[in-house]
Amino acid sequence: MYSKENTVCFTGHRKIRKSDKDLYTKIYNVVESLILQGFLCFCAGGARGFDTMAAEAVLSLREKYADIKLVLVLPFLEQYKKEESWTDEEIDRFINLTKKADSVVYLQRDYSKSCYYKRNQLLVEYSSVCVCYKSRKSGGTAYTVELAQKEGLKIINLIEK
């Protein structure tokens, strides 16, 4: 039903710059454009910030395009309990996403040092387009975008220059 050719992954920073006030609208417009090009499956990693915004945009567009699917690829169960500084609002949004997603994939039960890298590798492995919000040359987002480039994915970076 869904293949690498019609699957998109998201990766981005947890903190959104104040200057990027219209980021959600950009995500929404890019996702809608990809839907119109035949992309049907959208995979997000479940992190705060960009991942959450991207997943919410997909869910919003699913009301208009019933054939699209949101897949959450999560590194481990209840990641908000391990990661520091999740607000109550962020936890509520995360739980809401897990309830509304078409599929939720947990890579493992508990945290390990490599679980985020495994998640990022899986996102890239099953996608042909990577929509990102990347401003730094190091960290998880940079790693994922670099991997996506090596694997030949089309990269769409929504960061404001």
Nearest to 120 by CA among 102, 141, 104, 97: 141
* Residue 44: strand, helix, or coil: strand
**pLDDT-above-70 percentage for the chain:** 98
- Could you report the per-residue pLDDT of 3-58, keeping only the tens digit for each? 999 999 999 999 888 888 899 999 999 999 999 999 999 999 999 999 999 999 99
Please report which confidence band the pLDDT of residue 91 belongs to, taking 50, 70 and 90 as the band edges: very high
Mean pLDDT calculated for residue range 123-144: 94
3-state secondary structure of 105: strand
Q: What is the pLDDT of residues 67-81, one digit of tens each?
A: 999 999 999 999 998
Short-list 77, 72, 148, CA closest to 112: 77
Distance in angstroms (rounded) separating the CA atoms of residues 123 and 12: 12
Mean pLDDT of the chain: 94
Query: In 3D, which of 127, 134, 130, 120 has the Cα closest to residue 75?
Result: 120
Burial zone of 109 (CB within 10 Å; 0-12 exposed, 13-18 middle, 19+ buried): exposed
**Region 134-161 average pLDDT:** 92
pLDDT number for residue 1: 52
Other Cβ atoms within 10 Å of 127 Cβ, number: 25
Q: What domains are there in the chain, each with its CATH number?
A: 4-157 (3.40.50.450)
Q: Is residue 69 within 8 Å of 102, Cβ to Cβ?
A: yes
Residue written as token pair 């962020």 = 90
pTM for the full predicted model: 0.95
d(CA 94, CA 41): 19
What's residue 161's pLDDT?
52
